[in-house]
Amino acid sequence: MEEIFEKFKKEEDIFNKARIVKFLIKEKGLQVKQIAQNLNVSSSYICHLERLLNLPEIIIDGYYSKMINISQLFLLSRISDQEKLINIYEKILSDNLTFQQTEELIREELYKIKNKGQYLDINEKNNLINKFNNKYKNSNLKIIQSKVKGKINIEIKDNLEKTSKLIKKLINAMIEAKD
């Protein structure tokens, strides 16, 4: 098994690396996490490699012809619908999209969300957290933002009577608030 891992490490062609990963999973019965640990890479990288083998020939040819880069290749591999995949690939080529533009296009396709707006400024975010935590002494607020969603995590430390009352109050206030 060690020689297979060494072969992977020495291999420069990304599709040959993907074939080795597929072999390790299908023929040797290894889990993605095991492969990643043995190769000292992330599990997500192994998953990316595994998906590359599902790409149509036209996209593989585009990679070898240097029409797209490896990062765009990994992004494209996230699309499972072959027709949509080819349409997106053609848009990348026709519009000469950068990695970031490709990422936005694929995110839009996967999540049906357009990339617009800005993250909360770190000072504004910290100010909101401090205001909330000062008003509700037994609470801990966390704000998490990605390009496709925002998450508010509120931890309230108290008995059921008080936490239930505060949860209802906060949710009702959010429902009543105007956009």
pLDDT tens digits in sequence order for the chain, 179 residues long: 789 998 999 999 999 999 999 999 999 999 999 999 999 999 999 999 999 999 999 999 999 999 999 999 999 999 999 999 999 999 999 999 999 999 989 988 888 877 677 889 999 999 999 999 999 888 999 999 887 788 999 999 999 999 999 999 999 998 898 76
Radius of gyration of the chain (CA): 23
146 with 68, same domain: the answer is: no
C-alpha closest to that of 152 among 178, 176, 108, 120? 120
SS3 153: strand
6 with 89, same domain: the answer is: yes
144 with 107, same domain: the answer is: no
Choose one of 62, 77, 111: the last residue of a domain: 111
63 with 139, same domain: the answer is: no
Choose one of 87, 111, 135: the last residue of a domain: 111
Count how many domains the chain has. Answer: 2
> pTM score, two decimals?
0.67
**Residue 75 domain flag:** yes
**Average predicted confidence (pLDDT) for the chain:** 91
Answer positive or negative: Cα dihedral of 27, 31, 32, 35.
negative
**Residue 117 domain flag:** no
138 with 99, same domain: the answer is: no
In the prediction, which pLDDT does 179 show?
65
Choose one of 67, 87, 111: the last residue of a domain: 111
Domain span at residue 33 reads 2-111
C-alpha closest to that of 170 among 121, 119, 135, 144? 135
**Residue 92 domain flag:** yes
In the prediction, which pLDDT does 151 show?
92
